Each structure stands twice: as structure tokens, then as C-alpha cells.
């Protein structure tokens, strides 16, 4: 689920977010992705203090074999790996999903091409030369999307972004219930 998302710089707000992250990434000689964003790439993320930061997509596995790029929202409270992480928001124009059987690629976005805000978690960098790393929270797909894939990102309605970042975890449950259904394939 959600192995790629994309950022179109056709919105002033999204362009400003990416630009802010890019300025910070340049200080460590990195580039923030736009267009199609892949796991392990640097991306623009809004941290729990509301600051735009460059972060790398994917947490390192305990055995250093690959990355964990998504976290099931239903089990994050139970998994020790996710308990100490901080909340973040990942802005995007849309995301891609591959059909479970045919491997056909589908793009999902809002009809008015508004910004999507994925709920996420991030960990602080471990060393001086490291950057923060994030995962995208996932949930069971809505009925419209389920024929393509059984999972989808947790998409926060815009009015839930600030509460997700600043308020208690109960907002998370509310945000999942208010998932946006008007995504377009």
C-alpha cells in the first residue's frame, strides 16, 4: 500500500512547502523530491511543531534489510517500534496504487486537485549527518478503492491537520472516521 505518491507543483501552497523543505535540505547537500516520490527519497514533511522539514521516507528495519514505509493505523499503539514516534503530515497531490492482481498502476487524487494530507509518524535523526525518517499511516481501503487495493493512506481532511499535529491521540480516531471518500481513480 502506498509505495509511491506524487507532488505536482501547480499549487502555490504545495510549491511553498516543497521550497521550504528544499532550502533546509540544501544545507545538508540533499534534494527534496517532487513529481513521483519513492521510498528512501527525501520529501517535504510537516513535523509535530508545524515546521516544514526535509525527511527521508522509510524507517530502517532492525536488521537493516530494507525500509518500513507504511504503518497500519490499527496496530501502531501495539507495536513497540511506533510508540515513541512523533506525528507528522505528508502533503501530496495524489498517490499511486498497483492493482493487487494485475499490477496495473492507478493514480488517486481529489477531484479539485486539492492537496492531500497523509497522516504519518517520524523518528528524530540518530546522528549528526542523519535526517528524520517517516512512515505513512495506512487503513483499510474505502469501498471505492477496495477493488484496486485493500489498503490506503490515512488522509486527513484539512481541518484535522492541526489537531493531528497538536492535540491528543483521540483526534487520530476522529480523523480516520472522517476519511475523504471523494478520491478519483
The three cell numbers of residue 73 are: 493505523
Greatest mean pLDDT among 84-88, 103-107, 133-137: 133-137
Q: Regarding beta strands 4-7 and 52-57, do their DSSP bridges make them parallel or antiparallel, or are they unpaired? A: unpaired
Helix (H) or strand (E) run with residue 22 in it: helix 12-26
The three cell numbers of residue 110 are: 481529489
Q: For residue 95, what is the domain's CATH number? A: 3.90.1680.10
Mean pLDDT of 153-170: 81
pLDDT digits (tens, 9 = 90+) for 53-63: 999 999 998 88
Q: Is residue 185 part of a domain?
A: no
The three cell numbers of residue 126 are: 540518530
Mean pLDDT of 158-185: 64
Percent of the chain scoring above 70 in pLDDT: 90
Q: Is residue 183 part of a domain?
A: no
| 99, pLDDT greater than 90 | no
pLDDT band for position 90 (cuts 50, 70, 90) = very high
| 47, pLDDT greater than 50 | yes
Residue 97 vs residues 135, 141, 180: alpha-carbon distances, Å: 16, 11, 17
Q: Is residue 30 part of a domain?
A: yes
Give the pLDDT confidence score for residue 74 in this predicted structure.
Answer: 85
Q: Which of 4-13, 16-25, 133-142, 165-174 has the lowest mean pLDDT?
A: 165-174
**Residue that is written with C-alpha cell 510549491 in the block:** 15
Q: Is residue 184 part of a domain?
A: no
Give the pLDDT confidence score for residue 84 in this predicted structure.
Answer: 87
Enumerate the β-bridge partners of residue 44: 54
> What backbone torsions phi and psi does residue 151 show, to the nearest 5 degrees?
-125, 160
pLDDT digits (tens, 9 = 90+) for 150-161: 999 998 888 888
Return the percent helix, strand and coil in the chain, to nearest 5.
20, 35, 45
pLDDT band for position 174 (cuts 50, 70, 90) = low
Q: Is residue 93 part of a domain?
A: yes
Domain range for 136:
4-177
| 183, pLDDT greater than 60 | no
Structurally, how many domains does the chain consist of? 1
Separation of alpha carbons 16 and 68, rounded Å: 28
Amino acid at each position: 500500500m502506498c509505495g509511491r505518491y506524487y507532488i505536482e507543483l501547480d499549487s502555490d501552497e504545495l510549491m511553498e512547502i516543497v521550497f521550504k523543505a528544499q532550502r533546509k535540505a540544501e544545507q545538508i547537500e540533499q534534494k527534496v523530491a517532487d513529481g513521483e516520490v519513492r521510498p528512501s527519497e527525501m520529501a517535504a514533511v510537516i513535523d509535530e511543531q508545524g515546521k516544514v522539514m526535509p525527511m527521508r521516507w522509510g524507517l530502517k528495519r532492525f536488521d537493516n534489510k530494507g525500509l518500513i514505509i507504511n504503518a497500519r493505523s490499527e496496530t501502531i499503539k501495539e507495536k513497540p517500534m511506533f510508540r515513541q514516534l512523533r506525528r507528522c503530515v505528508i502533503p501530496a497531490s495524489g498517490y499511486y496504487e498497483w492493482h493487487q492482481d494485475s499490477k496495473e498502476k492507478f493514480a488517486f487524487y481529489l477531484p479539485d486537485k486539492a492537496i492531500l494530507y497523509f497522516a504519518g509518524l517520524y523518528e528524530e535523526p540518530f546522528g549528526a549527518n542523519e535526517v528524520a525518517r517517516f512512515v505513512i499511516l495506512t487503513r483499510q481501503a474505502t469501498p471505492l478503492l477496495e477493488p484496486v487495493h485493500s489498503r490506503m493512506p490515512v488522509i486527513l481532511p484539512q481541518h484535522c491537520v492541526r489537531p493531528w499535529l497538536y492535540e491528543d491521540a483521540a483526534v487520530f480516531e476522529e480523523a480516520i472516521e472522517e476519511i475523504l471518500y471523494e478520491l478519483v481513480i
